[in-house]
Chain A
Amino acid sequence: MNVADDNGRRKTLLEINQLKKYYPIKGGLLQRVQSHVKAVENVSFKLYEGESLGVVGESGCGKSTLGKAILGLEELTAGTVKFKETEIQSLRKKEKLKFVKEMQMIFQDPFASLNPRQKIGPAIAEVFSIHTSMSSKEKKLAVLDLLKEVGLKEEHYDRFPHEFSGGQRQRIGIARAICLNPSFIICDEAVSALDVSVQAQVLKLLKTLQQKYQLSYMFISHDLGVVRYFCDRVLVMYLGNTVEEGKVEDLYNAPLHPYTQALLSAIPRPSIEKKRNRIRLQGDLPNPADPPSGCPFHTRCPIARTQCMEEKPQWREYGEEHYAACHFAGESIFKEAK
Chain B
Amino acid sequence: MGEALLEVKNMITEFRTADGYLPAVRDVSFSLNKGETLCIVGESGCGKSITSLSIIGLLPSNGRIASGEIKYEGEAIQSHTAEQMRQIRGNQISMIFQEPMTALNPVLTIGYQLREPLMIHEKLSKKEAHKKGIDLLKSVGIPYPEKRMSQYPHELSGGMRQRVMIAIALSCNPGLLIADEPTTALDVTIQAQILDLINDLKQEYHMGVIMVTHDMGVVAEVADRVMVMYAGKKVEEGTVEEIFNHPKHPYTIGLLNSVPDVDKPDFELEAIPGSLPSLNQQIQGCRFHERCKFAMETCKQQEPPAFDLSHSHSVSCWLEAEEVTNP
Question: Are A272 and B245 in touch, CB under 8 angstroms?
Answer: yes
Question: Are A268 and B215 in touch, CB under 8 angstroms?
Answer: yes
The interface residues of chain A lying within 8 Å CB-to-CB of B271 are 197-198, 200-201, 203-204
Closest to B278 in A: A165
The interface residues of chain B lying within 8 Å CB-to-CB of A263 are 188-189
Within 8 A of B (CB), among A97-132: none
Within 8 A of A (CB), among B198-253: 214-221, 240-241, 244-245
CA distance A10 to B44 in the complex (A): 42
Q: How far is the CB of A145 from chain B (nearest CB, A)?
A: 22
A269/B220 contact (C-beta < 8 A), A195-B43, A200-B269 known: yes
Q: A222 near B: Cβ within 8 Å?
A: yes
CA distance A167 to B45 in the complex (A): 13
Q: Which of B91-99, B125-133, B254-262, B294-302 touches A?
A: B254-262
Q: A211 near B: Cβ within 8 Å?
A: no
The interface residues of chain B lying within 8 Å CB-to-CB of A229 are 260, 267, 269
Question: Are B217 and A267 in touch, CB under 8 angstroms?
Answer: yes
CA distance A262 to B190 in the complex (A): 11
CA distance A59 to B185 in the complex (A): 10
Question: Are B217 and A269 in touch, CB under 8 angstroms?
Answer: yes
Q: How far is the CB of B266 from chain A (nearest CB, A)?
A: 10
A266/B265 contact (C-beta < 8 A), A200-B270, A272-B245, A284-B159 known: no
The contact of B255 among A197, A204, A271, A272, by CB within 8 Å, is A197
The interface residues of chain B lying within 8 Å CB-to-CB of A165 are 275-276
Question: Are B160 and A225 in touch, CB under 8 angstroms?
Answer: no
Question: Are B262 and A198 in touch, CB under 8 angstroms?
Answer: no
The interface residues of chain A lying within 8 Å CB-to-CB of B258 are 196-197, 199-200
CA distance A200 to B215 in the complex (A): 13
Q: A249 near B: Cβ within 8 Å?
A: yes
* Per-position 1/0 for A243-281, Cβ under 8 A of B: 000001100100000000011101111111000001011
Closest to B158 in A: A59
Within 8 A of B (CB), among A178-230: 195-201, 203-204, 222-226, 228-230
The contact of A270 among B44, B196, B259, by CB within 8 Å, is B259
Question: Are B216 and A270 in touch, CB under 8 angstroms?
Answer: yes
Closest to B270 in A: A200
The interface residues of chain B lying within 8 Å CB-to-CB of A264 are 262
Within 8 A of A (CB), among B139-177: 157-160
Question: Are A268 and B43 in touch, CB under 8 angstroms?
Answer: no
CA distance A249 to B244 in the complex (A): 26
CA distance A249 to B262 in the complex (A): 11
Q: A149 near B: Cβ within 8 Å?
A: no
Q: A15 near B: Cβ within 8 Å?
A: no
The interface residues of chain B lying within 8 Å CB-to-CB of A230 are 260
A278/B192 contact (C-beta < 8 A), A197-B254, A270-B216 known: yes
The interface residues of chain A lying within 8 Å CB-to-CB of B217 are 225, 267-270
The contact of B196 among A204, A222, A280, by CB within 8 Å, is A280
* Per-position 1/0 for B302-321, Cβ under 8 A of A: 00000000000000000000
A272/B275 contact (C-beta < 8 A), A229-B269, A266-B192, A278-B192 known: no
CA distance A33 to B192 in the complex (A): 38
Q: A58 near B: Cβ within 8 Å?
A: yes
Q: How far is the CB of B182 from chain A (nearest CB, A)?
A: 13
Question: Are B214 and A195 in touch, CB under 8 angstroms?
Answer: yes
Q: How far is the CB of A59 from chain B (nearest CB, A)?
A: 6
CA distance A264 to B188 in the complex (A): 9
The interface residues of chain A lying within 8 Å CB-to-CB of B87 are none
Q: How far is the CB of B235 from chain A (nearest CB, A)?
A: 13
Q: B327 near A: Cβ within 8 Å?
A: no
Closest to A57 in B: B187
CA distance A271 to B263 in the complex (A): 10
* Per-position 1/0 for A162-173, Cβ under 8 A of B: 000111100000
The interface residues of chain A lying within 8 Å CB-to-CB of B216 are 196, 270
Q: How far is the CB of A21 from chain B (nearest CB, A)?
A: 21
Closest to B259 in A: A270
Question: Are B269 and A267 in touch, CB under 8 angstroms?
Answer: no
Within 8 A of B (CB), among A258-309: 262-264, 266-272, 278, 280-282, 284-285
CA distance A225 to B192 in the complex (A): 15
Q: How far is the CB of A221 from chain B (nearest CB, A)?
A: 11
Binding site for B on A (CB under 8 A): 58-59, 165-168, 195-201, 203-204, 222-226, 228-230, 248-249, 252, 262-264, 266-272, 278, 280-282, 284-285
Q: List 23 A-B contacts (CB under 8 A).
A: A58-B188, A165-B276, A197-B254, A197-B272, A198-B43, A200-B272, A201-B272, A223-B260, A224-B262, A225-B217, A226-B260, A248-B265, A249-B265, A252-B265, A262-B189, A264-B262, A267-B188, A268-B215, A268-B217, A271-B261, A280-B196, A284-B157, A284-B190
A59-B158, A272-B220 known, 7 other contacts, Cβ within 8 Å = A58-B187, A58-B188, A195-B43, A263-B188, A268-B218, A270-B217, A271-B261
